Amino acid sequence: MKVKVTRTFTFKYPLPFIEKFGYDTEPIASLFKEFRVIATHLYWCRRLGIDPFEEVIDKLYSLPSYFRDCLLDVNSQKYLFKELVRTHRPKRTLIRLNPKVSVDIYPKQKNCIIVNLERRELWVRGFYRKRTLKLPLSRKACNYLKKVLTSNPSKIATLVLRDGVFEVHLHFSRKSSIPRIRLPLSRGKWIIAVMDMNSRYGMVCTWLYLDCDKREWKITRVKKYRRKNLTSLLRYVSKIQRARDRLRNIGSLDHSRKLLYNKIVKSCLKKQRAINKDFIAKTTKEIVLRTRRIAKRYSAQPLIIVDKPIAEGLEGSSLQRTLLRFAKILKCKALWYEVPILFLRLCSSYCPYCNEKLTFRKHKHHRIGKCNKCGFKSDRDTIPVHFFVNRFSVLRAEKQVLKANPYIIYGVKGDN
């Protein structure tokens, strides 16, 4: 089965940073401002069924060619309002929208984007006063791009100016061949990574070796992924907010001090988002690559099972954005590396054999669940594995009483 997968790399360049390389940023800001006004005018003319003004069309043809392609060619992949036109009710937020300009990544065109890995630069042609805008790339970004370009994907880029930051988004797409997975599993050898995203102590991934022909299975590895502790950072943010509110209540908060407090809070929250984003990127990549590596070692087929909570149950909670974003990025990377992935509900509070409610005994680093009806006993992080083997495979495993093994819990290799 062929599946189209897209990976996106985002490069952000603040306008003061671009000025250090001898470029004037006023033409860039004015160009995007004109494009935003023209895009809004053309969109509402299309939605209301009226003809646009001739002055607007003449102004549009004075812009670079890839600005015109995003607004005029309805059947093009770069068309800007492809999704918005399908909406039944016009959105008022369109006036405040920052339209993205789609550009091709080809080295032979006049108006395009070139990724120069030798010089570690990003070239934007036909954009800045008929000159090439050369922006630097980090060594880490070049190494990532080299790995992605080896698979010869289709390439396209989008440009956007948001809050004084010039953003370049590079989109790489290709078709991955993913085998069809039919449950229950009945044949072959499998290395299954069971991902429990709603664990109390963090995200837990358990790698399971399943041999359907010999009717054998075992847990090869368990690892917990914990995000960096942000308690001190959040306490500092609340402290700054309380101080700001206290000064405002007594009437001694002037405009300059208010801007200073808001700037501190904004920088701290930006740091928090960066930590979450880095944790998600590293963890998802490690899970996918380790699953492929273990499957190659056992000469088995890789498979990722995600125990994702229901979206309705997460609505309004603090984990809503983190868990759903983690699942989305994990799916994208798994399909890019041609690893099949499934989203199933695997219970960890009920016995996988008799459906009785488990009673848990908490320890310092783990929780042991015990069934009072059939005597099943296991660590809570490995209960979803028993649930998967007993429900989604033809292998009816015998009940195994698992003792708390610290070598398995902390991610060191070990068999159960």
**Domain identity same for 133 and 282:** no
Residue 360 pLDDT: 86
Q: Which of 195 and 397 is assigned the larger pLDDT?
A: 195
**Which range is most confident: 95-104, 307-316, 363-372?**
363-372
Residues 6+ apart with CB under 8 A from 205: 193, 194, 195, 196, 222, 223, 225, 287
For the stretch 104-107, contacts whose Cβ atoms lie closer than 8 Å and that sit 24 or more positions apart, written own/partner, are 104/66, 104/155, 104/156, 104/157, 105/155, 105/156, 105/157, 105/170, 106/155
Q: What is the pLDDT of residue 318?
A: 58
- 129-138, 166-175, 271-280: least confidently modelled range: 129-138
State the pTM of this model. 0.79
Helix or strand (DSSP H, E) at 243: helix 231-249
DSSP-assigned states of every residue in 45-56: HHHHT-PPPHHH
- What value does the mean pLDDT take over residues 210-227? 88
Domain membership flag for residue 214: yes
Lowest mean pLDDT among 13-22, 41-50, 205-214, 342-351: 41-50
Segment 308-344, tens digit of pLDDT:
766 555 555 556 666 778 888 999 999 999 999 998 8
- Which residues form the domain of 368? 189-227+273-409
Give how far Cα 71 sits from Cα of 55, 63, 181, Å: 15, 12, 41
pLDDT score for 410: 27
Question: How many distinct structural domains can be found in the chain?
Answer: 3
Angle between helices 255-298 and 320-336 (to 10 degrees): 40
State whether 257 and 167 are in the same domain: no
Maximum distance among all alpha carbons in the chain?
A: 80
Compute φ and ψ for 306, nearest 5 degrees. Answer: -110, 120
Last residue in a domain, options 111, 145, 177: 177
Whichever domain contains 305, its CATH number is 3.30.420
The answer to whether 51 touches 86, Cβ cutoff 8 Å, is: no
> Is there a domain that residue 286 lies in?
yes
Residue 397 has pLDDT above 70, yes or no: no
DSSP type of residue 92:
G
What are the DSSP calls for 198-214, one per residue? T-TTSEEEEEEEEETTT
Do 322 and 347 fall within a single domain?
yes
> 221 and 237 share a domain?
no
Please indicate, yes or no, whether residues 380 and 238 belong to a single structural domain of this protein: no
Cβ neighbors of 276 (< 8 A, separation 6 or more) are 227, 322
Q: Do 33 and 78 fall into the same domain?
A: yes
**In angstroms, what CA-CA distances link 199 with 19, 224, 226, 323, 394?**
47, 9, 10, 11, 27
- Asked if pLDDT for residue 75 goes beyond 80, the answer is no
Residues 235 and 328 in one domain: no
Asked if residue 182 belongs to a domain, the reply is no
In a domain, 278, yes or no: yes
Distances (CA, A) of 178 to 68, 175, 329, 339, 407: 37, 9, 17, 7, 34
What type of residue is 161? Answer: L
Residue 95 has pLDDT above 60, yes or no: no
Q: Report the mean per-residue pLDDT for the chain.
A: 81
Indicate whether 15 belongs to any domain.
yes
Q: What is the mean pLDDT of residues 357-362?
A: 86
Rounded to whole angstroms, the Cα distance separating 35 from 37 reads 5
- Tell me, yes or no, whether 415 lies in a domain: no
Q: Which residues contact 123 (CB under 8 A, 6 or more apart)?
A: 113, 114, 115, 116, 132, 133, 134, 135
Q: Specify whether 165 is located in the same domain as 28.
A: yes
19 and 78 belong to one structural domain: yes
Among 53-62, 74-83, 108-117, 315-324, which is the least confidently predicted range?
315-324
On whether both 209 and 66 belong to a single domain, the answer is no
| 19 within some domain | yes
Most confident segment among 94-108, 248-262, 362-376:
248-262
Give the SS3 label for residue 78: coil
pLDDT greater than 90 at residue 407 = no
Helices 65-72 and 54-61, packing angle to 10 deg: 140
Are residues 219 and 235 both part of a single domain? Answer: no
Q: 401 and 311, same structural domain?
A: yes
Q: Is residue 22 part of a domain?
A: yes
First to last CA, the chain: 35
Q: pLDDT tens-digit profile of 179-192?
A: 888 888 888 999 99
Q: What pLDDT, on the 0 to 100 scale, is given for residue 400?
A: 43
Q: What's the confidence (pLDDT) of residue 129?
A: 65
Q: How confident is the model at residue 415 (pLDDT cuts 50, 70, 90)?
A: very low
